Amino acid sequence: MTKQPLAEPNADREAPLSWTERFYRAVPVSPIWVGVGIAVGLLALFLAIAWAFGGLTIVRSGDLELWEYREARFGILVAVLAGYLPTARRYVVLGAKKNLGDLSSLLESSSRGSAAAQRRFGRLDARAARRAGLLGILLLPITALLVDRDPALFLQREYYGAEQVFAWIVGAWVVWSFGAFVYATLGYARRFSDLAGQLERIDLLDLQKLAPFARQGLRSALLWLVLLSLVSLNAVDLIWFSTLAAIALVGGTAALILPVRGIHLRLRQAKQ
């Protein structure tokens, strides 16, 4: 029986058919520059809104430092995260493709590896990705309550100034992107863990070929740590920051451990 060829590492078959993925694939620059462009554009929009509605006047008057002005903190934070999170998700996808390609020699030596790789690294379920984004939306009111712990405040008309509306609208995109980022990170982590079971033989004298499993975990964990550093821009709100920092640490730990769980089991079996 003829083996089916392993998916080429540059084939973008596993990416969900979302408009953000199509956008990142269509723009002929590195994803990091796409993210920077999104963040800079939103920062410029926020500054224009703050200038038009008097927010910058408060800072220029000297009554408050920029980072003491809460609306400025959140406006800057959500703009930066709006550029970072979809970019981080894109790098998870690209890393998974690259690492799968690096494992191709091991997979093709397996009677099941080639077909299994194509099956397990087909597109992430677009519907599941959308559900993850919708679940992420639930974080928006939760994070708002962590900052303003009086729900009645959100029912007051005076609360909704231009800067607050900007933060809520862009924040909705941020938490949607966060949900999609979590889904991609954990989805590929599970795939790499399962992929180890498709390897028929582990050569204990040549472990370098197994490095892609570790690289997937390290890349994903690094992206979570960058997220943690960006969240620290609003460390002034201690309860809010502590909660999100704990989420980022748990996510980063899972992203580091899950991709190598399967191969660690196979190594133990091979040693025994």
pLDDT, tens digit, 9 for 90 and up, residues 92-140? 988 988 888 877 767 665 555 455 455 556 556 677 778 888 888 888 8
Give 24-43 pLDDT, tens digit per residue: 888 889 999 999 999 999 99
pTM value > 0.85: no
Q: Rounded to the nearest 5 degrees, what angle is found at the Cα of 202, between the Cα atoms of 261 and 198? A: 65
Cβ–Cβ under 8 Å, residues 208 and 251: no
Enter the tokens of residue 239. 């309860």
Between the CA of residue 252 and those of 90, 182, 184, what are the distances in Å?
Answer: 16, 10, 13
Cβ–Cβ under 8 Å, residues 84 and 37: no
Enter the tokens of residue 228. 């943690």
| Alpha-carbon gap, residue 178 to 176, rounded angstroms | 5
Residue 112 CA, distance from chain mean position: 31
Q: What is the mean pLDDT of residues 134-153?
A: 83
119-128, 151-160, 235-244: least confidently modelled range: 119-128
Give the pLDDT confidence score for residue 8 in this predicted structure.
39
Closest by Cα among 108, 109, 94 to 215: 94
Mean model confidence pLDDT for the chain: 80
